[in-house]
Amino acid sequence: MFDYTEIIKKAEILIEALPYIQALAGKTVVIKYGGNAMISEELKNSVMEDITLLKYIGLNPVVVHGGGPDISRALKSFGVESEFVNGLRKTDSSTMEVAQMVLVGKTNKEIVSLINQKGGKAIGLCGIDGMLLECEKHMEIVDGKPVDLGFVGRITKINTRALELLTHSEYIPVVAPIGTDKNGQSYNINADTVAAELAAALKAEKLILLTDVEGVKSAEDKVIHVITSDEVHRMIEEKAIVGGMIPKVLGCIRALEGGVGRAHIIDGRIPHCILLEIFTNKGIGTMITRQLIPYYEKEKL
């Protein structure tokens, strides 16, 4: 007799996903795509498959991408060394030209092409299109003093109409983090920030940040799978959350305060990490939420 054990296990996985599919049908999910998931060919393909599948089962994914390594390589080829302040790239006029060329002309179109190859219908945008991301110069505070980073932007307004038209039809928008001011000057904007603010503006149900870490960890070095925004603030005060994780969790909290339902920090180095986080009860990363409100009666939070 044929052994149906493995097939039954696959069916059980699909059944576990069912209540999440029902809860998220028609909802917007903003995904920040970056880190090693943009470098490894295997991971690139698994992320694009995940995003395409989300669209086919009734969710509305919006992709925001970084591209720092590509920009650094391009600048190096022109003999320009990159300088960073608190993780933000100093951007003079020449660097801005290269960043825009790489993010909009190369990285964005590669992602669009990959999604289209998987059967999705992606459309590439940047914040200049339709004045999607209006911004002004960002001044970084270092040791209590403002530092001019050049053409690094701070978002002042988001015009979501174009994204709403695309997401509520058959298309998957892919957004490069370049914005513009009212005079038409382009600015480079941190991709995590763009994703968080877009998620809030779109009233997305989920914000998902793909990173190169497993998630927020406890003092015992174990991944915390669910945490409230109040608990995040407490962990920052107690210095249990430090370094580069701080801006990520604070971006998630800003998105939650703007109306996003749940925010997720997940390990983009794991194949199909998006599906594993969204459609399984335990997930693989850290989910941050304002209140522990389950999607369905038996969801364990």
Between CA 206 and CA 252 the distance in angstroms is: 10
Amino acid occupying residue 77: S
Q: What pLDDT does residue 6 have?
A: 83
Residues 70 and 206: beta-carbon distance below 8 Å:
no
The torsion region of residue 110 among left (phi > 0), alpha (psi -120 to 50) and beta comes to alpha
Number of domains in the chain: 1
Q: What's the mean pLDDT in 235-263?
A: 90
Find the domain containing 145 and state its range. 61-190
Look at residue 67 and tell me if it is in a domain: yes
Look at residue 152 and tell me if it is in a domain: yes
Look at residue 168 and tell me if it is in a domain: yes
Residues 55 and 45: beta-carbon distance below 8 Å:
no
Between CA 140 and CA 189 the distance in angstroms is: 12
Q: What pLDDT does residue 84 have?
A: 80
| 298, pLDDT greater than 80 | no
Q: What pLDDT does residue 144 have?
A: 81
Find all residues with CB under 8 Å of 220, minimum gap 6, and list them. none
pLDDT tens digit string along 213-229? 899 988 888 899 999 99
* Residue 89, annotated as binding a ligand: yes
Look at residue 41 and tell me if it is in a domain: no
| 203, pLDDT greater than 90 | yes
Report the Cα 18 to chain-centroid distance in Å: 24
* Residue 127, annotated as binding a ligand: no
Find all residues with CB under 8 Å of 16, minimum gap 6, and list them. 279, 280, 281
In this structure, what CATH number is given to the domain that contains residue 98? 3.40.1160.10
Q: What pLDDT does residue 81 have?
A: 79
Look at residue 90 and tell me if it is in a domain: yes
What percent of the chain is helix, strand and coil (3-state, nearest 5)? Answer: 40, 25, 35
Between CA 61 and CA 64 the distance in angstroms is: 10
Task: For residue 27, give both structure tokens.
Answer: 């909802």
> Residue 255: pLDDT band by 50, 70, 90 thresholds?
very high
* Residue 215, annotated as binding a ligand: no
Task: For residue 136, give both structure tokens.
Answer: 């002004």
Q: What pLDDT does residue 88 have?
A: 81
Q: Across all residues in the chain, what is the average pLDDT?
A: 90
Output phi, psi for 98, to 5 deg: -65, -45
Q: What's the mean pLDDT in 97-110?
A: 93
Residues 64 and 122: beta-carbon distance below 8 Å:
no
Q: What pLDDT does residue 275 have?
A: 95
| 1, pLDDT greater than 70 | no
Look at residue 140 and tell me if it is in a domain: yes
End-to-end CA, the chain = 40
| 108, pLDDT greater than 70 | yes
Between CA 249 and CA 80 the distance in angstroms is: 32
Look at residue 201 and tell me if it is in a domain: no
pLDDT tens digit string along 64-96? 998 878 888 888 888 887 788 777 888 888 888
Amino acid occupying residue 290: R
pLDDT tens digit string along 127-185? 999 999 999 998 888 888 888 888 899 999 999 999 999 999 999 999 999 999 999 99
* Residue 144, annotated as binding a ligand: no
Look at residue 229 and tell me if it is in a domain: no
